């Protein structure tokens, strides 16, 4: 995937509207961003696509690429991801899992998933059961976690 262009739309404002227009040129400018346009290529060719043209899985990959790029430049101590792999195929789920594993050397990642790929490199596993309108969270083994997602995939 190649994030070829990220365009920020901005509206330039003068810092003080009470200053006469002929004196405003010397004042510092403040930019207010009004939107972002992203063009992306998944082939490395000149076939750049806009976000509206992408599938759900492709949009997820673009969002994750931006998050991971920001994480490398300005890391947070932890990240909480809820089913980020839901729209991805197995190959891309594995790539995301590998990236999370690499980045987890400097930050903590908490993820929820119903797919096996994110489980491979995890250090801790928790199962959440919903009984009598109450969620119960318990530590589970790696094998129990794999059994759960495999069971969920055979039912779903």
The whole-angstrom separation of Cα 86 and Cα 80 is 15
Q: Rg of the chain over CA atoms, in angstroms?
A: 22
Of 69 and 28, the structure prediction assigns the larger pLDDT to 69
Q: Which CATH class is domain 55-156?
A: alpha beta
pTM score, whole prediction:
0.72
Reply yes or no on whether the pLDDT at 2 is more than 70.
Answer: no
Give start-end residues of each CATH 3.40.50.300 domain in the chain.
Answer: 55-156
Condensed to tens digits (0 to 9), the pLDDT of residues 26-54 reads 555 656 666 777 888 888 777 888 888 99
Sheet of 2-14: strand order equals: 2-14, 29-41, 49-50
Task: Determine the pLDDT at residue 140.
Answer: 96
């Amino acid at each position: 995937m190649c994030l070829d262009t990220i365009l920020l739309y901005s509206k330039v404002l003068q810092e003080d509207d009470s200053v006469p227009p002929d004196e405003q040129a010397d004042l510092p400018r403040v930019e207010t961003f009004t939107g972002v346009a992203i063009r992306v290529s998944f082939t490395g060719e000149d076939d750049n696509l806009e976000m509206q043209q992408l599938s759900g899985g492709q949009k997820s990959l673009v969002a994750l690429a931006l998050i991971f790029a920001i994480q490398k430049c300005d890391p947070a101590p932890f990240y909480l991801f809820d089913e980020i792999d839901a729209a991805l195929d197995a190959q891309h789920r594995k790539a995301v899992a590998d990236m999370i594993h690499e980045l987890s050397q400097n930050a903590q990642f908490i993820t929820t998933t119903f797919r096996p790929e994110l489980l491979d490199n995890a250090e801790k596993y928790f199962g959440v059961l919903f009984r009598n309108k109450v969620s119960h969270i318990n530590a589970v083994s790696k094998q129990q976690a794999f059994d759960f997602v495999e069971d969920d995939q055979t039912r779903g």
